Amino acid sequence: MLECFQLTISGKQALVELARPEQLNVLDEQALDELDAVLTELQDQGIKAVVVTGQGRAFAAGADVKAMAQMDTAAAKSFSLKGNRVFQRIEEHPAIFIAAVNGYALGGGLELALACDLRLASSKAVFAQPEIGLGLIPGFGGTQRLPRLIGPARAKEWILTGRRYSAHDALAAGLVAEVVEPEELLSKAQGLAEELAARSGPILAVAKRAVNASAGVTPAQGQTEAELFAGCFAYRDTREGLQAFVEKRKPDFQDW
C-alpha cells in the first residue's frame, strides 16, 4: 500500500503523484522504497508513458534533512546509493517519464526531475540544488545529470551557489522543454503522454536507450557521487549545516 505516492494507470499511460503535500513531498527512505515498487509495477503493466508530478505546492522539496542530520558516513553512503539506484531505474526504464514540475523542485526533487526523460514546468516552479548551504553536495545524481542537461559551467553555478531559479530560468538553461500556466500543466503533460503512448513501446525504449548511450550514462557515476556525498559527513561543517537547517538558523561554517 502506497503512502508517499498515488499511482493512476489508464491504458498504457500512468500518473505518478508524490502524495505528501503537507511535507512538501519529501524524499526519505520510505519514499524511495515506494518509488522503487512503483517502477516495478509500471514495468509489469507494460506502461509506455508516465507523468510524474507532486500534490500541493511542491514537486518535491528534497531529501529528509532531519534524517540526514542523524546519519554517519556509512548511512549517508547507503542513502545516496539507494537514491542513485532508484533514479537510475527511471533512466533505464522502458517507459518514457515526463516530469510535470508544479512547484518547488529542490535538491532531491530536482534530481528526480533530472532522471526523467522530459520536463515541463509550471510558471510557478522553482528549481535549485541547495545542498551546498547544508555543507553537502547533491547525492541522488545531480552532479552527474545536471551538467549533461545544462552544461558543466552552468551546472557548477547552480550546484556551487545553491541559488534558486525560476521556471523561465530553467527554460533558458534548456532544463525544461516548456513553461505553462499552473492550471494547464497536468493536461499538457498528460497530452504528451498520450501522444507517446500511441507509439511503439519497444521502439520508444530503444530510442531512449540510444540517446542515453550518447550521453555516457553509467551506474558507476552514481557510485562515485555516493562516495563523495558520504565523505561530506566526515566534516564538522556538514554536521553544522544540517543541524542549522533543522534549527532554522544560519550555519556557522569553520572550513573543517
Q: Residue 178 catalytic?
A: no
Q: State the number of CA atoms in the 13 A half-sphere of 239 facing the CB.
A: 9
Closest CA to 115 of 232, 222, 4, 5: 222
Which of the residues 111, 184, 195, 227 is marked catalytic?
111
Burial of 41 (0-12, 13-18, 19+ CB in 10 A): middle
Would you call 131 a catalytic residue per the annotation?
yes
d(CA 3, CA 250): 33
148 C-beta neighbours (distance < 10 Å), count: 16
157, 71, 159, 170: which is closest to 113 by C-alpha? Answer: 170
Active-site residue (options: 17, 34, 91, 131):
131
Residues 11-33: b if buried by 16+ CB within 10 A, e if exposed? ebbbbbbbbbeebbbbbbeebbe
Q: Count Cβ atoms within 10 A of the Cβ of residue 213 and give its class: 0-12 exposed, 13-18 middle, 19 or more buried.
A: exposed
Q: Which residues are the active-site residues?
A: 111, 131
